[in-house]
Structure 1
């Protein structure tokens, strides 16, 4: 199959391209660097023409009030071009529990993206993943003040980007789900606990202090971003990922 991977040069996209290519598919990466702009529409029709599958891994450059407009415009452009080209399967990557955290504007924006896909005419699949292990450093940086990292006790079930890419690749190569596949890492932590584990493993002298008002994840109520019962559980444990990175 020919598979157009939009956002195919990023953390997940580059691995998806490698996985699909290794499986014998013609996986082509597209991004701003290759001349495809999902906001202006430049290069979008050319990218999806002739594709059996489109995998959209583009993301809003911000998590703020600008994010809904990004997903609205990018999906409008990609879905219109995909329908015109007769694409048979459109895949996006979303977030476990995204529809259960309405206090986060970025999560509302991702729900918008999902709804636009569902309302379109192209057969579709949605892969929802828990938080990436690779994002833990950035998460801590948001709430670091000197030698103190303030983190809430939000339950979190981190997944390795490689496992996310493997799941997206599998879905892209299969029949449309017309629904959602949830994937998650094998271990559940509170975010403050995960911060302490990360700092200790890296010999970082910063101290984690519990602050249930700190950072993006303070708006998450309960365990809504933990994997549901029917989720696929990925193999990579956080301790093993830390050791390898």
Structure 2
């Protein structure tokens, strides 16, 4: 089985490539660095030539109003190339609860990406994951100063990128789901709880203040970002992951 991984040099993509190759299949990473551009279409036909599966892990460079156009163009180009080259399975990574946060333009853009794939000519699979542990540093930086970090009490169920990568690789090596597989972490926490754990692990003395208007996740209502009942749950907790990085 030959698997083309678009965005294959990023955080998730590089791990997906390693997992697939270790399983005895051939995964090849593609990105701008080796001449594949999902926006212009340059290099896509060559990347997908002879591929049985394409995994698209490319992402919009911004979370703003430009993100829908990125996913529209990149998906149109990928699916057209996949159809020309006879690729039999297309996989994307999305977000748990993505269709339940209409106030976030980036989430609407990811819903658009899913809908384009579902309506396309290639059998498909969508892996929806909860937030990455690795994303927490960015979340802390959005609404912080030298003394405090402001975070909403948004419930989340995060997991390590290694566990997300394993889920994506397993789906890519299997038959098309023509549906969604949800993946989540082992424990539900609120963002302010995660913030306190992360700061304590680094010896950061700043105070976490609950502010339900702070940051991107202030737009999230209820527990829609936690794993649904049918989700596969990873085993590594946030504290265990933080300890492994020391």
Specify the TM-score bucket, using the shorter chain as the normaliser.
Answer: over 0.9
User: Structure 1 unaligned runs (5+)?
Assistant: none
Classify the secondary structure of the residue corresponding to 2:68.
helix
Classify the secondary structure of the residue corresponding to 2:110.
helix
**CA deviation vs aligned residue, 1:16-37 (integer Å, no higher than 9, x gap):** 0000000011100000111111
Distance of 1:130 and 1:175 partners within structure 2: 23
Distance of 2:82 and 2:189 partners within structure 1: 40
Match of 2:96 in 1: 96
* Displacement of 1:205: 1.4
Match of 1:71 in 2: 71
Match of 2:2 in 1: 2
Match of 1:158 in 2: 158
Match of 2:21 in 1: 21
Match of 1:239 in 2: 239
User: Structure 2 unaligned runs (5+)?
Assistant: none
* Displacement of 1:215: 0.3
Q: RMSD across aligned C-alpha pairs, in angstroms?
A: 0.5
* Displacement of 1:235: 1.2
* Displacement of 1:101: 0.5
Query: Which 4+ runs in 1 deviate beyond 6 A?
Result: none
Distance of 2:83 and 2:186 partners within structure 1: 37
Distance of 1:145 and 1:103 partners within structure 2: 26
Distance of 1:128 and 1:66 partners within structure 2: 22
Classify the secondary structure of the residue corresponding to 2:192.
helix
TM-score in terms of structure 1 length: 0.99
**CA deviation vs aligned residue, 1:42-64 (integer Å, no higher than 9, x gap):** 11111111100000000000000
Which deviates more, 169-178 or 231-240? 231-240
Classify the secondary structure of the residue corresponding to 1:150.
strand
Distance of 2:146 and 2:202 partners within structure 1: 17
Match of 1:196 in 2: 196
TM-score in terms of structure 2 length: 0.99
Aligned length: 245
